[in-house]
A and B are shown apart, each in its own frame.
Chain A
Amino acid sequence: MTNKTIIQVENLNKSFGGLQALKNVNLDLKSNEILGLIGPNGAGKTTLFNIISGSISPNSGLIMFKGSDIKNKRSDQRCKLGIARTFQITKPFQNMTIVENVTVGAYFGKNNISISQARKKAEETLELLGMKELQSFEANTLSIGNRKKLELARALATDPQILLLDEVIGGLTPTEVNAMIETIKEIKKMGISVIMIEHVMKAVTSVSDRMIVLNYGEIIARGTPQEVTENPIVIEAYLGGAKNA
């Protein structure tokens, strides 16, 4: 396994009006690594994904993808470069079939692919996620678990180098959780690097190589899953969050 850095985030800051959602965030993602990103509600996790994927811009800071600054790239261009994401609040293309949903990712996520190749790729991706038999149903018929899988399928079909997963496990049934964990391990084997936001602690700790903890926009801890879960600062942040809630 090479240890090449694929994504590097330096001194990222983002505020919404008076609220500083991210403060001097630094992180890197190595190739073929799963990085778990945890933190209480409102910590800024999704905001970080929005900035990396290009849907909002930071106030300051740098994002390097394989050594080059991607500040001036739009979301769709970043996707073509190999950065794919899922949405925490799922955004399926409701009145389109499942296979059409995934074909959008397969066709537009890459340059120079024919529509029939894209369709085939979409079917293969659905097969991988065990959703093949649903492919001709419209997305508005899906259960929450399948909507999350559809998010993943679309992102995966873009043939990404890095995948940003925003709570694909929360809300799933126990059986679905186990299946999803297996899928994520499978994705790693395909050579894709993953940053994974997750509240379901058992799930993140079981797949992550390293973890990072955000609290009020700041990184308060990083390390192996064991180091992080045993860190008193992290425990305090979570308990404090629970007290305020």
Chain B
Amino acid sequence: METVAKTNKGKRSFVARKEYWYQSTKVLYSASAIILIILPMFVGNYTLHILTLTLIFAVLALSWNLVAGYSGIFSFGHHAFFGIGAYVSALLSIKYGLSPWFGLIIGGGIAAISGIVISLPVLGLRAAPYIAILTLGFAEIVKLIVSNLVGLTRGELGLSGIEPFTSIGSISFNLAHRLNSYYLILAVMCLVVFVILKVISGPRGLALKSIRESQDAAESLGVNLRKSKLYVFMLSAFIAGVAGSFYAHYVQVLTPSSVLGVDIMMQILVITVIGGLGTIYGPIIGSFIVVMGLEYLRFLGDDRLMIYGVVLVLVIIFMPEGIIKKVFRKAK
């Protein structure tokens, strides 16, 4: 019983740690609302573009975080789902005139099916290096296929003139109305956060987290590892596919390297790690830091990549749980 009391006390002082004004949830939510909803009304087109890209990457990182951060499965082929969503939706709209709104769902759906396909060989693997190589290889294959199906995708020449999202009444989403596109991806992101919160706080989340912590223990307690892994791959691929489809109809041009390059995966990884693996809001904060940081350091030329590397190393050394947990103790 002595040990009980000791742990108890040690932990209590930890919980009672002084809370700073900026750590209150009220301040946090109002600040985010102002930054995300009001501020964009007063910025120029260039900044708005960067903000939109930031949120696209936030959605992508949120989806990868489900697999890596919550389930502990380090898949490095997540950019494939982004690319698949983008190409499926763009091609359906170009070849068959399908509305981009449907493309968003079908792009996500096809990405989800690919997620299931790639998860099948992953299910039997426990060792992280094999999973990394397998998933990375899968993404490379997807990229090769897209580059070589020249008749369909025009290869590296790329697709251009992809339709923007069709107007809803007087709300248009073409490049002259970037603010609307920004709000659209903001809505998508909020929906994604809502879904992830729901999943993580329910039984599925319990299963995923237990798998992350110990697959042996989870299985011995009745958790069906296959089912949980299939589910999380499918859901996260769907979200990444939706992000890809949004991207296609937003920038309106696609090449295999712009949506299927391994640098996208690097970006997702860095965003999530800096923001906080396995936290709900970490990927969003991470995306603001990384995407905006890289953009506004452009004047440094290639030196910015060095800064990027240094920042990543510093974060891993000094705050391995990510920025969000450092600043907001209670973040989960």
Contacts and interface: CB of A to CB of B under 8 A. Distances in A.
B127 interface: no
Contact of A53 (B4, B220, B225): B220
B222 interface: yes
A185 to B, nearest CB: 19
A55 B220 contact: yes
Given A107-B203, A134-B7, A143-B3, A158 B213 contact: no
Interface stretch (A21-29, A40-48, A90-98, A196-204): A90-98
Contacts of B44: none
Interface stretch (A31-39, A76-84, A206-214, A228-236): A76-84
Contacts of B4: 130-131, 133-134, 143, 146
A137 B11 contact: yes
Nearest to B213: A93
Interface string A142-155: 11011000000011
Contacts of B6: 143
A92 B212 CA distance: 11
Contacts of B217: 87, 91-93, 154
* Contact-residue bracket for chain A: 35 or more
B207 interface: yes
B8 A91 contact: no
Interface in A115-151: 115, 130-131, 133-134, 137, 141-143, 145-146
A78 to B, nearest CB: 9
A74 B220 CA distance: 9
Interface string B1-41: 10110111011000000000000000000000000000000
B225 A76 contact: yes
A91 B214 contact: yes
Interface residues of B, number: 28
Interface in B192-247: 202-203, 206-207, 209-210, 212-214, 216-225
Contact of B223 (A76, A130, A131, A145): A76
Given A87-B216, A103-B206, A154-B217, A141 B222 contact: no
A110 interface: yes
Contact of B209 (A75, A96, A131, A137): A96
A175 interface: yes
A91 B223 contact: no
Given A115-B203, A134-B7, A154 B219 contact: no
Contacts of A107: 203, 206, 222
A143 B207 CA distance: 24
A109 interface: yes
B210 A96 contact: yes
Chain B CB within 10 Å, residue with most, of A74, A80, A104, A107? A104
Contacts of B278: 95
A147 to B, nearest CB: 11
A14 interface: no
Nearest to B332: A95
A108 interface: yes
A104 B223 contact: yes
A85 B220 contact: yes
B219 A76 contact: yes
A150 B28 CA distance: 36
A230 B209 CA distance: 48
Contacts of A100: 206, 209
Given A104-B207, A104-B210, A115-B203, A75 B7 contact: no
A120 to B, nearest CB: 14
Nearest to B227: A76
Interface in A137-184: 137, 141-143, 145-146, 154-155, 158, 173, 175
Interface of B: 1, 3-4, 6-8, 10-11, 202-203, 206-207, 209-210, 212-214, 216-225, 278
28 contacts: A53-B220, A55-B216, A74-B224, A75-B219, A76-B220, A76-B223, A80-B222, A87-B216, A91-B217, A93-B209, A93-B213, A95-B209, A95-B212, A95-B213, A96-B213, A104-B207, A105-B221, A108-B218, A108-B221, A108-B223, A115-B206, A130-B4, A133-B4, A143-B3, A146-B7, A154-B221, A155-B220, A158-B221
Shortest beta-carbon contacts, A-B, top 9:
A108-B222, A93-B213, A91-B217, A143-B3, A79-B222, A109-B222, A91-B214, A105-B221, A75-B219
